[in-house]
Amino acid sequence: MASDADALAVFWDAARAAHPELPPSSPEAWAFGATPEHADSLLALVLVGTKTATASALWDYEATGDPLPKAGDLSIILDSASTPRAVIETTSVAIVPFDRVTAEHAHAEGEGDRTLGYWREAHELFWREHSENPRGFEPDMPVLCEQFRVICAC
């Protein structure tokens, strides 16, 4: 049985064969959301081109010590079974207060009815339930709004 590391290596080799401009070393691999259901439903939106943005709580990055994404970063997106499914490139990152996230960003996230109202309701609930920081959610909390493009759904 192949390990997750083996599956990532095979996936990255296939992605590089299709896109020789990709670097030799594979980027970080991760799944969207906090549950298997989130991972698969959000990945499905990415794969059909509906989801071209994501949002994260800046406080979660501070709590975990993870580096902030930046334009040009590559990522391997996993499904709920940790199977690599896509390579994305971050195209822009902005940090804005939750209550200042734009309708355009909400639409680019591709979730629900794609309205800002839906985005606010869903993300407040998400951060209240799944925050990795002790502050959880605040209406003016800093949100990292990331835009990306799919390079390969290999």
What is the average per-residue pLDDT within 82-111? 98
Asked if the model's pLDDT at residue 149 lies above 50, the reply is yes
What pLDDT, on the 0 to 100 scale, is given for residue 122? 97
Q: How many domains does the chain have?
A: 1
What pLDDT, on the 0 to 100 scale, is given for residue 2? 55
What is the average per-residue pLDDT within 62-85? 96
What pLDDT, on the 0 to 100 scale, is given for residue 5? 87
Range of the domain at 75: 4-152
Asked if the model's pLDDT at residue 79 lies above 50, the reply is yes
Which residues have a Cβ under 8 Å from the Cβ of 39 and sit 6 or more positions away? 31, 32, 33, 78, 79, 80
Asked if the model's pLDDT at residue 154 lies above 70, the reply is yes
Asked if 88 and 43 touch (Cβ cutoff 8 Å), the reply is no
Asked if the model's pLDDT at residue 1 lies above 60, the reply is no
**CA-to-CA distance for 121 and 112, rounded, in angstroms?**
10
pLDDT single digits (tens) 118-140 = 999 999 999 999 999 999 999 99
Give, as one character, the DSSP assignment of residue 63. Answer: H
Element (H, E) at 147: strand 142-152
Percent of the chain topping pLDDT 90: 95
pLDDT single digits (tens) 42-51 = 999 999 999 9
What is the average per-residue pLDDT within 22-40? 96
Domain CATH code at residue 17: 3.10.400.10
